Chain A
Amino acid sequence: MRLGFIGFGAMGKPMAEHLLRAGHELSVWSRRPASADFLLARGATWCASPAAVARASEIVCTNVTGSADVEALAGELAQGFSPGGIHLDFSTIAPDAARRIAAMYAGGGVDFVDAPVSGGSGGAQAATLSIMWGGKLCEAVSPGGTALATRLQPIFEVLGKTIVRVGEVGAGQVAKACNQMVMVAAIEACAEAARLAEAAGVDFAKVRSAMLGGSAGSRVLEVFGGRMAAREFAPGVEARLHHKDYALLMDEAVKIGVALPVSAAVWQQLNALMGSGWGRDDSSSLLRVLEAGTEPDPAR
């Protein structure tokens, strides 16, 4: 398939490589051209602009940071897409932004699909991501015709192992917000457990391994709990990205009027983490937020 790809960060880079390796033609553009060199060396084609990427591709994948980045990119891609084109965005953005972009494309017969992922750079490298997507059932140019899922399947199958169409455009972002609520609350809970164990003079590494097989077992306890036990705070997942996601989901909570008491408490801890200058460290640094201001244990 003729694909485009824009956004070669920790997630986008391995994802683009998987698509190339699976035999797809890849047209690329980047604000920092050097970041695409590794793909050009593997046979990808450089384009002069996002519009040129859209002209060369049936589907353009993007994986950038914020709502504004995706909206600006979509404006440029729209100038190159033909009817039937698909903009498949893997970024984590506001559900509303996703819906606005879809509306902007609709007149031109172009589909927008929000397909945020979970699983981190490890999941991206191993092609085991969980992909939660929102979009129309059928492509805009042939209502009642080809299912979007069918057209997207060749891409999804080389990137992830859990693929769920959550609902209409924006629903993928709602699911991702839920993912972040559950995941980062689990990281915070893990940090609080580690802090309690440590203060009570109990080895958290042992507590963690005892809990792993039981009802408290989770991917977060395994991965982030492990980092806390080892006091390894290098990323992993940069905490600033979780902080960004919380701003999005709390903003959404304000709009729709729902109470999120645990998420609100977690959000404050992420704010404190950022204020301590640990934004580019792993989110397991939430443990260090709980320790801040306490005397370091001289025995450690």
Chain B
Amino acid sequence: MNVGFIGLGLMGRPMALHLERAGHALHLWARRPESLAPFAAVNARTHATPAEVAKHADVVIVMVADAPDVEKVCLGEDGLAATGKPGLIVVDMSTINPNAARSIGQRLAEKGIEFVDAPVSGGETGAINAALTVMVGGTPAAFEKVKPLLEKMGKSVTLIGDSGAGQVAKACNQILTGVGVLAVAEAFNFAARSGVDPAKVREALLGGFAYSKILENHGQRMLDRNFKPGFKAWMHQKDLRIVMEEAHRLGLMLPSAAATA
């Protein structure tokens, strides 16, 4: 399949390479040309604009930072919509506001382009190991078409619901991980200030009801005082901003997310 891929950062680069390794022809555009370097030796063509990518691709995957970037790539000057033929499917794997996703989807639909939101969880490690969790919003028909691609990048691919539903699921995911990280930090600090070894606390907690991936992975990083990303903190802050925007729009009380954001 001819697969467009836009957004070759920490996450996007290994994800695109998985697709190439699975035998797909890649069509790339990058804002920064140096991002294209790892693709010089593989079956990939680079293009001057997203519009050029859309001309050549059956499916375009977008993996950028935030809603304005997705909007620009899809609907901006020389964006995907400028040349995308009816039947093209755009899969946005970035984490953006659910409402923004729905709106971009509607505007692409006017051009006959199908939009699927498919944000991921699992971080750079998950991307490298093709072990991401992919949460999808879109029509069942579009989902079935892109599912084989998504399965090359993730180990769990779930259709959550209509357009935007993948982003809602991702927002839920970020509440759990964001609050989880802060709760573990609070607990370790509390233990240390009580004269108790946080490493022992982590060990004891892992066996009980407090077990979580966060306690296991981020907890260990806190003990090692290894604050290299992992997952960049500003990205998580952006994701929690999305959560609070939704809380505001829908009129929801989300106190622990608010304390974390």
What is the total number of residues of chain A having a CB less than 8 Å from a CB of chain B?
77
24 examples of A-B residue contacts, CB within 8 angstroms: A119-B207, A161-B207, A162-B203, A166-B197, A166-B204, A174-B194, A175-B191, A182-B183, A182-B184, A182-B210, A189-B183, A192-B255, A192-B256, A196-B171, A206-B161, A207-B168, A209-B158, A211-B169, A216-B176, A218-B211, A221-B212, A249-B190, A259-B186, A269-B256
Give the nearest-CB partner of B173 in chain A.
Answer: A216
Q: How many residue pairs at the A-B interface have CB separations less than 8 Å?
A: 279
Q: With both chains docked as a complex, state the minimum distance between the C-beta of A192 and any C-beta of chain B, in angstroms.
A: 4
Within 8 A of B (CB), among A176-215: 177-183, 185-186, 188-190, 192-197, 199-204, 206-207, 209-211, 213-215
Docked pose: A118 CA to B208 CA in angstroms: 5
Please state if A258 and B161 are interface contacts (CB–CB under 8 Å). no
> Is A40 an interface position by the 8 A CB rule?
no
Does A52 count as interface, using CB distance less than 8 angstroms?
no
B182 within 8 A of A: yes
Select which of A95, A189, A201 is within 8 A of B179 by beta carbon.
Answer: A189
Q: Which residues of B contact A123 (CB under 8 A)?
A: 208-209
Q: Does A164 contact B (CB under 8 A)?
A: yes
- Interfacial chain A residues near B183, Cβ < 8 Å: 181-182, 185-186, 189, 262-263
| Interface residue A264 (Cβ < 8 Å from any Cβ of B) | yes
Residues of A within 8 A of B121 (CB): 211, 214-216
Q: A61-80: which have CB < 8 Å to B?
A: none
A217→B214 CA distance, assembly (Å): 8
| B256, A266: Cβ atoms closer than 8 Å | yes
Binding site for B on A (CB under 8 A): 95, 117-120, 123, 129-132, 160-162, 164-167, 170-171, 174-175, 177-183, 185-186, 188-190, 192-197, 199-204, 206-207, 209-211, 213-221, 223, 249, 252-253, 256-266, 268-269, 290
Please give me the 9 A-B residue pairs with the lowest Cβ-Cβ distance, nearest first. A162-B207, A118-B208, A214-B133, A130-B208, A218-B212, A130-B207, A193-B172, A185-B183, A178-B187
CB-defined contacts of B182 to chain A, threshold 8 Å: 185, 261-262
Is there an interface contact between A175 and B205, defined as CB atoms closer than 8 Å?
Answer: yes
Q: What chain A residues lie within 8 Å of B250 (beta carbons)?
A: 196, 199-200
A127 CB to closest chain B CB (Å) equals 12
Residues of A within 8 A of B194 (CB): 95, 170-171, 174, 252, 256
Bound complex: CA of A101 vs CA of B148, how far in Å?
62
Q: Are B168 and A196 in contact (CB under 8 A)?
A: yes
**Would you call B196 and A166 a contact (CB within 8 A)?**
yes
Known contacts A215-B122, A215-B126, A258-B189; A182/B161 CB under 8 A: no
Contact check, A207 vs B210: say whether CB atoms are below 8 A apart: no
Taking the complex as formed, is B235 at the interface, i.e. its CB lies under 8 A from any CB of chain A?
no
Q: Which of B201, B210, B257 contacts A189 (CB 8 A)?
A: B257
Chain A contacts for B190, CB-based, 8 A: 174, 177-178, 181, 249, 252-253, 256, 258, 260
Name the distance in Å between A225's Cβ and chain B's nearest Cβ.
9
Query: CA of A15 to CA of B101 in the docked complex: distance in angstroms?
Result: 52
Partner of B213, one of A160, A166, A216: A216
Give the docked Cα–Cα distance between A81 and B203 (Å): 33
Evaluate whether A202 and B176 lie within 8 angstroms (CB atoms) in the complex, with A167-B197, A175-B191, A256-B193 already known: no
The B159-173 residues at the A interface (CB cut-off 8 A) are 159-161, 164-165, 168-169, 171-173
- The smallest C-beta distance from B153 to any residue of chain A, in angstroms, reads 13
B195 is an interface residue with CB less than 8 A from chain A? yes
Which of B165, B215, B243 touches A202 (beta carbons < 8 Å)?
B165
User: Contact flags (1/0) for B84-125 with A, using CB distance below 8 Å?
Assistant: 000000000000001000000000000000000000011100
